[in-house]
Structure 1
Amino acid sequence: MNTRDYYFDNLKFLLITLVVIGHLIEPLNEDPVLRPIYLMIYTFHIPLFVLISGYFAKNIGSGDYLNKVISRLIVPYLLFESLYSLFDFWIYDRAELKFSYFTPYWLMWFFLSMILWKVAMPYIIRIRYALPIVIGIAILAGYANDAQYYASVSRTLVFFPFFLIGYYMDKSWIEKLRTTTMRIISGVGLILTYVIISSYGYMYKKEWFFGSFSYESLGHPEWSAGLYRVAVYVAAVLIGGMVMILIPQRSLPWISTMGTNTLYTYLLHGFIVLYLTAGDAYAHFTTTTEKLLLIPLGIMLTMVLSFSSIRYLFKWLVEPKMKLLLKHSQSRSNRKSQTE
């Protein structure tokens, strides 16, 4: 009996596609045609990805919880942080090779933050009113100029509320909103959001959506600057919510299957984007049509890297077997039964 939830596979494929497209158009994000698309993507795709990660982190009480953190997060993080550092040294012809395990290389911040969230969760969920507390800390973090890239501190704090929401979220919350009326409202809402961003997006900085900058560095040293982060949160919830309402629940040919391989796409696509950037490939994208071609290119790249054959080829690297190094942990219930 197949009990796989295609809804989340479909949603993950959409989000990883937006990640790839966002990274591909990032070098040209100031272009008047691409900027609204770039801003639209960044208003919600990171928070929504973090929320889904929190939703699938409900196995905190399992005996092999920490083993999975080590094998699925810490080890791949160390491997790919090293590989990206080596690739950067080679592709940009750096004078010095640097391994920055405590300052994640570009997209590797997500892995380090995931490690910190997963390690912290068993303790955080014991705290009363944990969600408003972590939201408050995230808002306050923006006032600290030293809480930025080191150890991914800023992003870890800023996006942690979405991870916690995902952990507490029940699928029924989404299903109750998936009425015909709400789908129409969501579709219209996303169109209006894009129109607003296209018209007024030049008025605000894209860095507000990165979660890695202090308010002062964004030009807002005033005491009320935290309200901007609140506005970013509200936008992420509203736009992300509309996207979640519109995602199909049924199995979609190709899409649902590829949505199970998003980890591979995330870790591997960065090498291709770096290669294009270092090779001055973007100098050839001069006309509006050529620049817009980056979007179908991002979709195609996502699909290729999401093939099962890619997973087969790189599984030894992305999901290394750690049975020989990790001790098997028994669940609490098993240990209890053995002592009785």
Structure 2
Amino acid sequence: MNIPLKINKYSLNTIGETYFLNIRFLLIVCVVAGNLLEPLIQQSIAAHHLFVWIFSFHMPLFVLVTGYFARFNLHGPAGSQMLRHIALQYVLFQSIYSVLDYTIFRVPHITHSFFAPYLLLWFLAGHIVWRLLLISLRMFTFKQQLIVSLVLGLSVGLLPVDGVWLALSRTLIYFPFFIVGYHLHVDKIISFFQHYRRSIAIGSIAFMILFFDLNLPLVIGWFYGNQTFVQLGVNSETGMLYRLCMYMLQCVASIGFLALVPIGAHYITELGRRTLYVFLLHGLLVRAIETTGILHRFNTPLEIVILLVFAILVAVLLAQPQVKHWTSRLVEPSIPQPLYSMIHYVQRHTLFQKQS
């Protein structure tokens, strides 16, 4: 049975959780699809356009959704426990992916270091920083936090360091979306999409078609968000202007995607509770497939559609409860008791105490 869409104080949290779980699963499908399409963007126009479309919204929205769910466990013991678990996941999977890449995958231009997150693992490193930054800005109003985050996002490209180190570039570029997600009013956004869903979806699709039709000479690195202005080949003023334009493009594309997401309970709602498993495990499958070279045989529109269907199947299968049962000790490892005792003082640190 679908959750009723009439919003009241008793159903608001349930409706919000349902809607954002739906968003989260559809986004993880896009993540899987994007990683499968990436090797083809130089040889297939269809793959390139789909890849750019996905990258115009999937990371901003994923960060926004992460910010939304962070409101429930940002402060206090729950907040410090979450930070420990994210850090442990990062260390564990950074080790796994690095060893496999060094021995099997051999992805070009990869730096093997705990200070250079392996591909998609930048999100875990970023998640830690977003939480710490938001806690440090807790005395500021939402508008002040947003202004600070935008200044950081616009200016990070000026730093004279490679953007991949500590995932600093992506982390600061996407920080504004984390802020927005944390403060988002669920009732307002759901009411907004209930009234204007169709017109927003049509308008966003038309905008993206126009964007692709203009064939702007935009370097794909702007969508990755992991490069400095120097690496992107622009000066400081042009770089900040381009980044501001990217923010506007991402907002339009994100709103258009949100208009397509079902608000009420759906089959995908429960799958949305286990997207962490899809996120951390699908990369192993994608890299294994890529080493066979089979992905480069996909060129025609029909073959691209087949690849998208495969991405959906991968996301659905990895989000099954059986996968969680088999891999929970790997994906959600418990912290060893000696280590837990050593860092238990963090729970009492004022940084994690919610201000009254």
SS in 2 for 1:64: helix
> How much does 1:153 deviate?
0.9
Aligned pair in 2 of structure 1 residues 200, 145: CA closer, same or farther (>3 Å)? farther
User: Which of 137, 143, 146 does residue 158 from structure 2 map onto?
Assistant: 143
Offset from partner CA, 1:6-44 (integer Å, 9 cap, x none) = 211111111000000000000001321111111111011
Q: What residue number does 2:3 align with?
A: none
Distance 1:26 1:32 in 2: 12
1:248 alignment partner, SS class: coil
Distance 1:217 1:99, change over 3 A: closer
What's the TM-score, normalizing by structure 2? 0.85
Structure 1 residue 64 and structure 2 residue 64: aligned?
A: no
Q: Does 1:214 align with 2:218?
A: no
Matching residue of 1:265:
278
Structure 1: 5+ residue runs without aligned partners?
336-340
Q: Which runs of 5+ in 2 are unaligned?
A: 1-9
Post-superposition offset of 1:143:
2.2
Question: After superposition, what is the alpha-carbon deviation per residue over 1:277-317, rounded to whole angstroms, capped at 9, x for unaligned?
Answer: 11111233243422332111111111111111111111011
Counterparts of 2:244 and 2:232 in 1: how far apart (Å)? Answer: 15
Given candidates 249, 267, 270, the residue that maps to 1:235 is 249
- Report the CA distance shift for 1:123/1:36 in structure 2 as closer, same or farther (over 3 A): same
- Higher mean Cα deviation, 304-313 or 208-217? 208-217
Letter in 2 for 1:250: G
Q: 5 Å matches for 1:1-340?
A: 4=14, 5-30=17-42, 31-58=44-71, 59-71=73-85, 73-92=86-105, 99-127=112-140, 129-180=144-195, 182-201=196-215, 203-221=217-235, 223-253=237-267, 255-322=268-335, 324=337, 325-327=339-341, 329=347
Deviation at 1:165, TM superposition (A): 1.2
Are the equivalent residues in 2 in contact too, given 1:34–1:292 (CA < 8 A)? no
Sequence identity (%): 28
Alpha-carbon distance in 1 for matches of 2:53, 2:83: 32
Would the aligned equivalents of 2:122 and 2:167 in 1 still touch at CA under 8 Å?
A: yes
Distance between the aligned counterparts of 1:42 and 1:104, measured in 2? 19
Provide the secondary structure at the position in 2 that maps to 1:121.
helix
User: Partner letter of residue 289 of structure 1?
Assistant: L
Give the C-alpha shift of residue 208 in structure 1.
0.7
Structure 1: distance between partners of 2:211 and 2:301: 19
Deviation at 1:82, TM superposition (A): 0.4
Distance 1:212 1:98, change over 3 A: closer
Cα separation, partners in 2 of 1:93 and 1:108, compared to 1, 3 Å = closer
Q: Which amino acid counterpart does residue 60 of structure 1 have in structure 2?
A: L
Number of the residue aligned with 2:6: none
> Is the Cα contact below 8 Å between 1:154 and 1:211 reproduced in 2?
yes
Deviates more, 1:208-217 or 1:267-276: 208-217
Against the structure 1 CA distance between its residues 56 and 193, is the aligned structure 2 distance closer, same or farther, given a 3 Å change threshold?
same
Could you tell me the TM-score, scaled by structure 1's length? 0.89
Question: What secondary structure does 2:117 align onto?
Answer: coil
Give the number of equivalent residue pairs: 328
Query: Per-residue deviation at 1:257?
Result: 1.2
